[in-house]
């Protein structure tokens, strides 16, 4: 397995060009934060804004929109149903990506929403939270397969519970069944079956691509901190990865860089505040320090 370190991933960091404008810096759109989980939408949107995207647009509930207008007024706000109508297309000069699922727990309405977003998105996707529940259904799986057939990539960001659900939805494969206690092999199984980069989160985070030859090609990040074991840190990670994807990084590079910056933000927050007291909001606040530390 390849161990991810700050030093090894520093070179992946997107350059901020002198002649940049907000669109060349990448548009990150997010479909996140239903009325029950507005906080997840706010956290993911704030993280995407912090991680360098020039233009951040949140398609979200009224509840999350009200909070975002106060804590992140630079984010453009739209309602869920506007996604298919207004979503951004991408070209080489104007990269773009969409994050979907943070704070969209598995209601029928949310599942329909996620599938319609996957069908409409002509951009790379980050699928988190409820979007992972949606692709574990037959119609959600088919929507993702069509997205991939249309030439667009996807990153899946399951925690252990979501990974178990993604694997349970697959046909049993006797050859790999024995291996699935090993998280690196779980990540690889998910990546290959869903044809997407898999970021399997936990105390150690495993990153696998569909074309990895075996577990030896899976990357592992093991330098994080249990301070990150707090509700909402996964939403922050999804926003970070989405912003990097929206700046034109490959899915694998965006995933690896996002995981290391997020982990380092947790470590720096724990050093400053003590691991016990670190909040998810602190992790967001320490992202700039983590970036400075990595690109110095
Ligand atoms: N402030 C907010 O609004 C927050 C909203 N959230 C949203 O809440 C929704 C539900 O997400 P949840 O993850 O709570 O619930 P889920 O029901 O999707 O997953 C939790 C289940 O998975 C199991 N599990 C196994 N391994 C796990 C692991 N390594 N980490 C976590 N759980 C593991 C748990 O025991 C539990 O049964 C998502 O849409 C998410 O985005 C959460 O991100 C928390 C913060
Ligand atoms: N003990 C731990 N050590 C290091 N990192 C952890 C630990 N526990 C959780 N994390 C990290 O915190 C994040 C939690 O994400 P997730 O489980 O999706 O939370 P949520 O759904 O509440 O946002 C992941 O990035 C995970 O790798």
Q: Tell the residue nearest (CA) to atom 8 of ligand 2.
A: 229
pLDDT at 77: 97
For the complex shown, is ipTM > 0.85? yes
The DSSP element (H or E) to which 283 belongs, if any, is helix 280-285
CA–CA separation, 28 and 125 (whole Å)? 10
pLDDT at 174: 60
**Cα 122 from chain centroid?**
17
Atom of ligand 2 nearest to the CA of 129: 21
Q: Are 183 and 199 in contact (CB under 8 A)?
A: no
pLDDT at 296: 74
Which tokens belong to 13?
Answer: 């960091």
Q: What is the pLDDT along the chain (296 residues), one digit of tens a residue?
A: 999 999 889 999 998 999 999 999 999 999 999 999 999 999 999 999 999 999 999 999 999 999 999 999 999 999 999 998 876 777 777 889 999 999 999 899 999 999 999 999 999 999 999 999 999 999 999 999 999 999 999 999 999 999 999 999 998 776 666 567 899 999 999 999 999 999 999 999 999 999 999 999 999 999 999 999 999 999 999 999 999 999 999 999 999 999 999 999 999 999 999 999 999 999 999 999 999 999 87
CATH number for the domain that contains residue 126: 3.40.1190.20
Q: Judge whether 204 is annotated as a binding position.
A: yes
User: Residue 269: helix, strand or coil by DSSP?
Assistant: helix
Which tokens belong to 243?
Answer: 């912003």
Strand pairing report for 55-60 and 76-79: parallel
Other residues' Cβ atoms within 10 Å of the Cβ of residue 52:
19
- Cα of 237 from ligand 2 centre, angstroms: 9
Domain count for the chain:
1
Domain that holds residue 182: 2-295
Give the mutation target among 198, 232, 234 for probing the ligand 2 site: most ligand atoms within 8 A of CB: 234
Which tokens belong to 187?
Answer: 């990540």
pLDDT at 95: 83
pLDDT at 143: 97
pLDDT at 98: 97
- Cα of 88 from ligand 2 centre, angstroms: 30
């Amino acid at each position: 397995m390849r161990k991810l370190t700050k030093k090894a991933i520093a070179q992946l960091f997107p350059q901020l060009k002198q002649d940049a404008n907000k669109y060349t810096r990448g548009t990150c759109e997010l479909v996140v934060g239903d009325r029950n989980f507005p906080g997840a939408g706010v956290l993911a949107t704030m993280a995407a804004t912090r991680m360098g995207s020039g233009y951040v647009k949140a398609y979200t509930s009224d509840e999350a929109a009200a909070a975002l207008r106060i804590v992140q007024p630079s984010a453009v706000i739209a309602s869920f149903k506007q996604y298919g109508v207004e979503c951004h297309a991408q070209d080489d000069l104007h990269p773009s990506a969409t994050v979907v699922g943070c704070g969209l727990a598995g209601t029928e309405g949310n599942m329909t929403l996620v599938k319609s977003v996957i069908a409409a998105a002509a951009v790379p996707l980050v699928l988190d939270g409820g979007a992972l529940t949606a692709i574990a259904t037959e119609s959600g799986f088919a929507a993702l397969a069509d997205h991939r057939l249309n030439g667009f990539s996807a990153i899946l960001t399951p925690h252990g519970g979501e990974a178990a659900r993604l694997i349970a939805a697959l046909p049993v494969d006797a050859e790999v069944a024995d291996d699935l206690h090993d998280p690196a092999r779980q990540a690889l199984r998910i990546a290959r079956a869903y044809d997407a980069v898999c970021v399997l989160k936990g105390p150690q985070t495993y990153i696998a691509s569909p074309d990895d030859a075996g577990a030896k090609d899976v990357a592992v990040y093991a330098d994080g901190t249990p301070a990150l074991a707090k509700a909402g840190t996964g939403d922050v990670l999804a926003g970070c990865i989405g912003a990097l994807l929206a700046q034109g990084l490959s899915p694998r590079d965006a995933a690896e860089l996002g995981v290391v910056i997020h982990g380092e933000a947790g470590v720096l927050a724990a050093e400053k505040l003590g691991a016990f007291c670190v909040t998810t909001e602190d992790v967001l606040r320490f992202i700039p320090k983590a970036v400075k530390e990595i690109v110095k």
